[in-house]
Amino acid sequence: MADAIMDNQQERMGHGRCESAARPAALEPRHWGWGEGGGTRLVLLTAAIIAVAITARLIPSIGTGSAHPVTGSYPWTVALAQLPATAVPGRAAGRLVPAPHSSSAAHSLQSHGVTMARKWGLGGVPLRPPKASRPLKQVFGGKNFGVLARVPTRDNVVFLTIDDGAEKDPLFAEMVRDLSIPFTSFLTDYASRDNYGYFKHIQELGHHPIENHTATHPDMPKLSFQKQRDEICQQQDNLEEATGVRPRLFRPPYGNYNETTLSAARTCGLKGVVLWSAEAFPDRIDYPTPERKLGPGDIILTHFRGPGQWRGTMVDMLRRVLRAAADQGLAVAALEDYV
Ligand SMILES: [Zn+2]
């Protein structure tokens, strides 16, 4: 609305300037009466003066408009700490960054993001990941079959990976849909078989691929090559049958593997092994470094678990991850965009 008013005023002011440039005599004092022609000029000049006055009032209000995020002058990509303190009691409001462009579509998107953030008890809209740049070195693909615990990137992103599949929380599915949070599931058959449909539903939202975490979740190095291969290849078939997509990535249970595991995974058609560098729970995050914070490229491990298995819900867990990421200016990005 404010933009429309501004455009209209600038258009009117522009007309005034054109007329003045074409006929400078119009501004001479002798024409400032109510006589024929002078009246029109007076009206135009008055309109120009009013427009200048209104514009002067509008400019400061645009400059401070970001102090009122819900009205639409709010950037879509804003850190959690940047929402008003009222959204999270006890949290100080940070400096707001004005949106660089204004359009009704962008405002609508921002408004939707703010609404969804509040719905899920977040202090701000989760940061959107940038367009993925190439990893600093080739990760997987071709002859590269490697093991990865952190993505080699300088992008301000982290990755969320969720294992096993025991808990199928519909609220969590709703939350990731509302907030458009990408993550990768590593499913084991014994935990997820009773409802693969839950994971297929999330997969179909986009940016939620399902990867391989064995059929029965054994400690792989204790098994022979053939048994390890059976665990992995069988789960490839299970997941393809359940979701229509054959996995690319493998995560060994407990993060335990040996050279036999890597050979077995490769012969099942997998492209690489993904471990993790941080682990998230509803009530804490175990960080990879003594600084106790996330950094670019960190892969976060968590699990499909319910309140009976840990202190909180999947929703609590995701809220904690999003806050920890935003505290460091990091967005949650799609792993498959990088590996
Ligand atoms: Zn597991």
**Full 3-state SS string of 248-301:** CEECCHHHCCCHHHHHHHHHCCCCEEECCCEEECCCCEECCCCCCCCCCCEEEE
d(CA 269, CA 266): 5
d(CA 302, CA 270): 22
Q: Which of 114, 34, 132 is nearest to 70 (CA)?
A: 114
Contact assessment for residue 149 and residue 335, using Cβ atoms and an 8 Å cutoff? no
13: helix, strand or coil: helix
Task: Report H helices in the chain.
Answer: 2-22, 38-63, 104-119, 170-179, 189-192, 196-203, 225-243, 259-267, 314-327
**pLDDT value at residue 137:** 76
**pLDDT value at residue 106:** 74
d(CA 291, CA 287): 8
Residues lining ion ligand 1 (Cβ < 5 A) are 163-164, 253
| 83 CA to centre of ligand 1 in angstroms | 36
| 303 CA to centre of ligand 1 in angstroms | 8
| 13 CA to centre of ligand 1 in angstroms | 67
d(CA 80, CA 300): 19
| 161 CA to centre of ligand 1 in angstroms | 11
| 296 CA to centre of ligand 1 in angstroms | 24
Task: Going residue by residue through the chain, which has 339 residues, state the pLDDT in tens, using 9 for 90 and above.
Answer: 333 333 333 333 333 333 333 333 333 233 332 333 444 454 454 555 444 444 434 333 322 222 222 222 223 344 444 443 333 322 322 223 334 455 677 778 778 899 999 999 998 999 999 999 887 777 787 677 889 999 999 999 999 999 999 999 999 999 999 999 999 999 999 999 999 999 999 999 988 999 999 999 999 999 999 999 999 999 999 999 999 999 999 999 999 999 999 999 999 999 999 999 999 999 999 997 888 999 999 999 999 999 999 999 999 999 999 999 999 999 999 999 999
Q: Take residue 279 and report the two structure tokens written for it.
A: 């682990």
Instruction: Report helix angle 196-203 to 225-243, nearest 10.
Output: 70
| 164 CA to centre of ligand 1 in angstroms | 5
| 206 CA to centre of ligand 1 in angstroms | 23
Q: Which of 183, 188, 173, 199 is nearest to 313 (CA)?
A: 173
| 274 CA to centre of ligand 1 in angstroms | 12
Contact assessment for residue 258 and residue 264, using Cβ atoms and an 8 Å cutoff? no
Considering the entire predicted model, what is its pTM? 0.71
| 295 CA to centre of ligand 1 in angstroms | 24
